[in-house]
Amino acid sequence: MRAAVWHGYKDIRIEDAPVPVPAAGQVRVRVDWAGICGTDRHEYEGPNFIPVTRPHRLTGRVAPLILGHEFSGRISALGDGVTGWQVGDRVTANGTLSCGVCEACRSGRYNVCQKLGFLGVSTDGAFADEVVVSAERLFAIPDGVSQRDAVLCEPLACGIHATNLLGDLTGKDAVVLGPGIIGLSAFFAAKAAGARRVLVTGVGEHRRALIEQHGGVYVDTAEVDAVEAVERWSEGRLADVVYECIGLQSTLDQAVRATKPGGRIMVMGVFGKKPVVDMNTLQEAERVIMTSQAHVDEIATALERLRSGDIDASELITRTVTLDTLVQDGFEHLIAHGPEHIKVLIHINEEA
């Protein structure tokens, strides 16, 4: 089978790989579509989380590995003991890998497993003709949601999970720093959770029309200071909740200063460089920093929102490439034109 195999910094090769065999409790999925995540881009151009010399604590794997954890497909084989699924079922999956025995796993919070891993980073992933996943992590794609659109459920689930952790947002003012797919997942989730108003910040005008079309306020921070914009928008009150969705020192600082006394900061961005937290500003107003890690079962909610039309996937899919053109038309294009895109999909196999 064809597979996009990560060998190192800017070294992804489209290679022939053995078709994986599902173990007990697993299924094999023929991949129709996959999505390039920010994590995949990090792996391409650094910093890297794929283990190179020290085997992963859960899987024991090291590079080279097949990338990819956002995908849709159809079940092509069942491992021993798998029930409730049939060959041909349309599915997507949660790409989290967990031990199943630590305290977090036993409590249902497998997304913060002590030996946490991910498909496409800790073991072979979905940028291939076929992928093996645990049957426990499968989600059926409902009628009315295409294979193409279903890929969006994974990043959308990240915003839903973070918002669930924040609790009731009814009547609250929320700010989202960063208008990429994760920021947009937070935007849509905050709106669905009853936020009174949502302001989104970003550099440039690429997201203004989309945000305003869905009832949000957009601020171009190339022209206006983000915190000053929040102050004016809130008439000095600041935000009840701020989502940090970029992973930069500057946006973390903005998040702290844009949050009202007693307000909450939800950090979703992945930091390539260890940040410094302004503890004095945080502490003096009893602001609270929270974090979120991927999701648990929120993919089901995301699929339902796609099915109902609450979220239109076509507004979020901005480019399509193939497995054979993934490196140049996908990763290299994103490096050169990243701000223009929300989600780039890979069309891997024709839908049956």
- How large is the C-alpha radius of gyration of the chain? 20
Query: Are 137 and 14 members of one domain?
Result: yes
The pLDDT of residue 351 is: 74
- Average pLDDT, rounded, for the chain: 97
Tell me the pLDDT tens digit for each residue of 114-138: 999 999 999 999 999 999 999 999 9
Residue pointed to by tokens 């794609």: 141
- Note whether residue 323 is domain-resident: yes
- Please state whether beta strands 26-35 and 343-347 pair in parallel, antiparallel, or not at all (unpaired): antiparallel
- Note whether residue 301 is domain-resident: no
Query: Are 137 and 221 members of one domain?
Result: no
The pLDDT of residue 106 is: 97
- Give the pLDDT mean for 305-310: 97
- Note whether residue 309 is domain-resident: no
Range of the domain at 262: 158-291
- Give the pLDDT mean for 306-329: 97
Residue 90 pLDDT > 90, yes or no?
Answer: yes
- Contacting residues for 297 by C-beta, under 8 A, at least 6 apart: 94
- Give the pLDDT mean for 169-187: 98
- Please state whether beta strands 288-291 and 259-267 pair in parallel, antiparallel, or not at all (unpaired): parallel
The stretches of 172-221 forming alpha helices (DSSP H) are: 181-192, 208-213
Query: Are 195 and 127 members of one domain?
Result: no
- Note whether residue 95 is domain-resident: yes
Tell me the pLDDT tens digit for each residue of 196-241: 999 999 999 999 999 999 999 999 999 999 999 999 999 999 999 9
Please count the structural domains in the chain: 2
Q: Whole-angstrom Cα distance, residue 334 to residue 163?
A: 28
Query: Are 148 and 48 members of one domain?
Result: yes
Residue 346 pLDDT > 90, yes or no?
Answer: yes
The pLDDT of residue 46 is: 81
The pLDDT of residue 137 is: 98
Tell me the pLDDT tens digit for each residue of 315-326: 999 999 999 999
Query: Are 187 and 110 members of one domain?
Result: no
Query: Are 7 and 146 members of one domain?
Result: yes
- Note whether residue 260 is domain-resident: yes
Query: Are 175 and 284 members of one domain?
Result: yes
Tell me the pLDDT tens digit for each residue of 65-89: 999 999 999 999 999 999 999 999 9
- Note whether residue 352 is domain-resident: no
Q: Band the pLDDT of 296: cuts 50, 70, 90.
A: very high
Domain boundary pick from 291, 307, 326: 291
Please list the residues that pair with 29 across neighbouring strands. Answer: 75, 131
CATH number for the domain that contains residue 190: 3.40.50.720
- Note whether residue 304 is domain-resident: no
- Note whether residue 308 is domain-resident: no
- Spacing of C-alpha 78 from chain mean position: 27
Domain boundary pick from 291, 308, 334: 291
- Please state whether beta strands 96-97 and 117-118 pair in parallel, antiparallel, or not at all (unpaired): antiparallel
Q: Whole-angstrom Cα distance, residue 29 to residue 139?
A: 12
Residue 350 pLDDT > 70, yes or no?
Answer: yes
Residue 352 pLDDT > 70, yes or no?
Answer: no
Query: Are 8 and 145 members of one domain?
Result: yes
Share of the chain above pLDDT 90, in %: 97
Q: Whole-angstrom Cα distance, residue 202 to residue 177?
A: 7
- Contacting residues for 18 by C-beta, under 8 A, at least 6 apart: 1
Tell me the pLDDT tens digit for each residue of 238-291: 999 999 999 999 999 999 999 999 999 999 999 989 999 999 999 999 999 999
Q: Indicate the residue type of 132.
A: V
Query: Are 107 and 42 members of one domain?
Result: yes
Query: Are 215 and 339 members of one domain?
Result: no
Query: Are 184 and 56 members of one domain?
Result: no
CATH number for the domain that contains residue 31: 3.90.180.10
Query: Are 147 and 11 members of one domain?
Result: yes
